[in-house]
Amino acid sequence: MHRHLLATYDFPPVGGGIARLTGELAKRYPAGTLLVSTGRVADGATVDAELPNRVDRLGIESTRLRTVQGLLVWSHRLRRLAQAFDPAFLWCGNLKPAAFPALWVRRREGIPYGIMLYGTELLLLQQRIRRMPRKRVAARMALRDAAVLVTVSDWTRRLCLEVLAELGLGAGEIEVRTIPLGTDPLHFRPGVDTRAVRARYGLDDGCWLLTVARLAAHKGIDTGLRVLAALREARPDLRYAIVGTGIKQPELEALAHELGVADRVRFLTAVPDADLPALYNCAEIYLGLSRPVELLIEGFGIALTEASAAGIPVIGGLAGGIPDAVRDGETGLLVDSTDLLAVIASVRSLLADQDLGRRLGQAGRRAVESYFNWERVTADVQRTGAEFGVRRSPRA
């Protein structure tokens, strides 16, 4: 069986969607077939001990991997790992910084590599290559030498092709594949007992809207608060649970007070993964109302598939990669998340038609069981690595 090496900046116990993806790959690759190279973080050893595949953590903090010194240390360590492990393919969990040590290894050991791409980093890169010639040269080298680029949605793929064109890399010159993400249908499922989390987080028996997200400007949580305010007279039992942390929390809490709905909102921070399945089961509707804000956008939306796995109907925005995670009219409803009236109408329709919500939730569960799950994602990543994992001669 082919062995693969994974270099990644984001890896558990660090939070976020990229770390979730790389952690699931380390968990689901057959034992001994994946070696992970990443930085040192607190409690990393505890996470690593539970995985069937080895994690090699550098002697420097993960946050320093983006520095020049960190890149040099990582490049030399990754080369030594490649020589000892002899992988057929090297995966980069991120474009920056992982692609640059991978390029170093490719040119010295001849091991082909692939880069996983999500969206926001491509928007940032697009802006920088237009203004900074040195960034343009570095990005062109890292992307040009990759055997394959893997995007997590059709939107990310289109953006990737735009960036490649701006770098002068023609259509067909670099293989671009799309592997949509997913979740764990055994962990996230319907019918989970909610009594303990309701008591722990102060969730009464009202009708709960739910968002699980980093509290950032593009996540659309402010829109969810405005929806709650608009429907408070018609639905006095309506509540909103917001699970996550981020720099926008004070601003969002202030908005909830300004709108007069603070008593109906719960900001739940530091929630462990073990509590998430029950929290999803507390909700009637999941709100994933992300929209583009400056260079921030949702590349896919793993939380949307978690909600679907729990059998909860989803209302998602039309922007970015969300339409890849939500099948409009089948597993949820897609709406222009910048149009408050349209969002309110969508929420109102699901609250009024419980049968529709039930059908959407059940279809979402089936979609996760059959496709939007980490087993399928891992199989796609393994298969892609095997396809492009043909040893090439090192470049001078």
Each residue of 254-298: pLDDT tens digit? Answer: 999 999 999 999 999 989 999 999 999 999 999 999 999 988 999
Domains 4-182+374-388 and 195-370 share a fold: yes
Phi, psi of 262, deg, nearest 5: -55, -35
Task: Spell out the alpha helix ranges (H) of the chain.
Answer: 17-28, 44-49, 68-85, 99-109, 120-131, 133-144, 154-166, 195-201, 221-230, 249-258, 276-282, 302-309, 322-325, 340-352, 354-370, 374-388
Distance in angstroms (rounded) separating the CA atoms of residues 365 and 373? 10
List pLDDT tens digits, range 130-142.
988 888 999 999 9
| Residue 7: predicted pLDDT | 98
List pLDDT tens digits, range 155-188.
999 999 999 999 999 767 899 999 999 999 999 9
Which amino acid is located at 168 in the chain?
G
List pLDDT tens digits, range 294-337.
889 999 999 999 999 999 999 999 999 999 999 999 999 999 99
Q: What pTM does this model have?
A: 0.93
CATH number assigned to the domain covering 4-182+374-388: 3.40.50.2000
pLDDT reading at 37 higher than 70: yes
Name the CA dihedral angle for 158, 160, 163, 164, rounded to a multiple of 10 degrees: -110
| Residue 106: predicted pLDDT | 96
pLDDT reading at 395 higher than 60: no
| Residue 173: predicted pLDDT | 86
CB neighbourhood size of 260 (10 A): 11
The answer to whether the beta carbons of residues 155 and 321 sit under 8 Å apart is: yes
The answer to whether the beta carbons of residues 57 and 50 sit under 8 Å apart is: no
**Domain coordinates in residue numbering, the chain:** 4-182+374-388, 195-370
> Which position has the token pair 């939380």?
303
pLDDT reading at 393 higher than 80: no
| Residue 396: predicted pLDDT | 37
Residue 188 makes CB contacts below 8 A (sequence gap 6+) with 276, 277, 280, 306, 309, 310, 368
Could you please state the CATH topology (level 3) that the domain comprising 195-370 is classified under.
Rossmann fold (3.40.50)
Distance in angstroms (rounded) separating the CA atoms of residues 246 and 251? 10
- Lowest mean pLDDT across 89-103, 119-133, 302-316, 370-384: 119-133
Q: Quick one: how far is CA 61 from the chain centroid?
A: 22
Task: Say how many CA atoms lie within 13 Å of 235 toward its Cβ.
Answer: 20
Residue 99 makes CB contacts below 8 A (sequence gap 6+) with 92, 113, 115, 142, 143, 146
Calculate the alpha carbon distances from 209 to 62, 266, 282, 285, 366 in Å. Answer: 35, 10, 9, 5, 22
pLDDT reading at 65 higher than 60: yes
Sheet holding 175-178, edge to edge: 54-61, 34-40, 4-7, 89-92, 113-117, 148-151, 175-178
pLDDT reading at 391 higher than 70: no
What pairs with residue 335 in β-bridges?
317
Distance in angstroms (rounded) separating the CA atoms of residues 377 and 354? 32
**Could you tell me the pLDDT band of residue 240, with boundaries at 50, 70 and 90?**
very high
